[in-house]
Amino acid sequence: MSASGSVLDQIIAGVREDLARREARTPLADLLAHVAEAPAPRDPMPHFRARGSSVIAEVKRRSPSKGALADIPDPAALAAAYERGGAAAISVLTEERRFGGSLDDLRAVRAAVDLPILRKDFIVETYQLVEARAAGADLALLIVAALDDDTLRRLHDEAQELGLTVLVETHDEAEVERAVALDAELIGVNSRNLKTLDIDPDTFGRLAPLIPDDRVKVAESGIFGRPDVERFVHEGAGVVLVGEALVRDGDPESAVRAMTGVTP
């Protein structure tokens, strides 16, 4: 797993501290009661499996690698622009310390769009999955590098029981092998090394052939325009997840539209 003191370790330590505060404030039973009354989650997979490039457009204020990316006073308005541009789904960063996100952002986006919404966070406990559903998420991210095999399997199964579609994120060959063994339907390849934060644009092309063709492959990080999308689609991506390039663009609706419909 990750080296002691890596960026990923530091992020997860903070996530666990913040999670403990939320658990003390809102019991799991209260969240489950809310979920029981919530509408069924939206299914993104038909769109993701369609020909072309499905874009997951991200609401992202900052990152550990780049610092502040964009002032987003109204995440709902940004998400609505993404929806008008043809995004297949919206990703909302909810990690607070390093990314400046929150579940309030996710709730605001849920109220504004009809698209499936991904809770993008460092999920390490069941409580976070229930939080995601209670806030209106339809998908949840599980990062292989952050979880041992037993926890990964348990959270994957629990997410599915809640009706969530799981995006299983990988970074290297060993992690891809673990994701494939999990029978994950949606497998992401993140070109950013979570231990060093460096991007290797060749990562997706190297790892995608290891993922069976009956799974949907998601390219993450290092996507700044249509040429990048075309490259990743050519290498086997059915979905691209784009954050920085969209939040920094003055016209996010047009920026999303430019990245959609790219075929091999």
Please list the active-site residues.
58, 60, 120, 169, 190, 220-221
What phi, psi does 56 have (nearest 5°)?
Answer: -95, 110
Nearest to 110 by CA among 124, 92, 122: 92
What 3-state DSSP class applies to 85?
coil
d(CA 42, CA 113): 12
What 3-state DSSP class applies to 220?
strand
Q: Is the dihedral of CA 52, 108, 23, 100 positive or negative?
A: positive
d(CA 206, CA 217): 13
d(CA 257, CA 162): 32
Token look-up 């209106």 returns: 136
Q: Is the dihedral of CA 102, 47, 82, 205 positive or negative?
A: positive
* 97 within 8 A of 113, measured Cβ to Cβ: no
The set of long-range contacts for 154-162, using a CB threshold of 8 Å and a minimum separation of 24, is 154/126, 155/123, 155/124, 155/126, 155/129, 156/182, 156/184, 158/126, 158/129, 159/129, 162/35, 162/41, 162/129, 162/130, 162/133
Residue at 252: amino acid letter: P
